[in-house]
Amino acid sequence: MSPRSSLFLLLLALAAGSARGDLTTNCGPDDPVPPTRVDTTERLADLRAEMESELEPLAAYLVPLDLEGRREWISGFSGSYGDAVVTADQV
């Protein structure tokens, strides 16, 4: 098997789900909700509505790491590195 095929199979396995069954969170169904969890559902819905209202609707919107904290505000992610991409149809 080529290294490229191995990488593809690994990515496919990861996309299929982790041992806990959900890649969107590392919390299990019975784990307590972390006190620092941020619910960004309404913020994302507002941004997606704005994206749809454009003359040419946007398929995606990049929210880079910045000094104003926009990435953390829209995603809840407060890590020191990374950007957020909000798509029109992905949760």
pLDDT tens figures, 56-86: 999 999 999 999 999 999 999 888 889 999 9
- Residue 16: pLDDT band with limits 50, 70, 90: very low
pLDDT number for residue 15: 47
Q: CA-to-CA distance for 40 and 34, rounded, in angstroms? A: 15
AA identity, residue 55: L
Q: CA-to-CA distance for 37 and 17, rounded, in angstroms? A: 22
pLDDT number for residue 64: 92
Cβ atoms of residues 76 and 63 within 8 Å: no
pLDDT number for residue 20: 43
Q: How far is CA 5 from the centre of its chain?
A: 26
Cα Rg of the chain, angstroms: 17
pLDDT in tens, 20-57: 445 555 667 888 887 888 889 999 999 999 999 989 99
Cβ atoms of residues 85 and 77 within 8 Å: no
